[in-house]
Amino acid sequence: MKIPEFTCLCPKTGQPDFATLYLDYIADKTCVELKSLKLYAWSYRDQGAFHEAVTNKILDDLTSLTKPRYMRLTARWYVRGGIFTTVVAEHKKRGFKLEAMVQLPNLESTESVY
């Protein structure tokens, strides 16, 4: 899943921070519902949060609710102070072995992949 409009506030300056979140997961018995995920992401718009802390909190919240076999959240933050930040957080269910990372095709183009 790609969440291109994630925003929160810098806890020091109060200025908005913008990120694109990428959520990859292997479900177990439950899955992430898209509308709920959208509303959850929007809940951060008025909250101050450091990049690393908010990425880890989102992953913790999602894994505690859905209990996936595997979940990875990648947050690509837009420039702040001349620096782009990328934070990656992962969760694996005890005993789960990730055989190989699945690379999906680049879906950014306007051409249909079907």
Residue 17 falls in the annotated catalytic set: yes
DSSP alpha helices (H): ranges in the chain?
A: 34-42, 51-66
What are φ and ψ of residue 17, in 5° steps? -115, 140
Give yes or no for a contact between 69 and 26, defined as CB atoms under 8 angstroms apart: yes
Residue 61 falls in the annotated catalytic set: no
**How far apart (Å, rounded) are the C-alpha atoms in residues 44 and 12?**
16
Catalytic: which of 10, 24, 31, 60? 10
Catalytic: which of 17, 28, 31, 61? 17
Catalytic residue positions? 10, 17
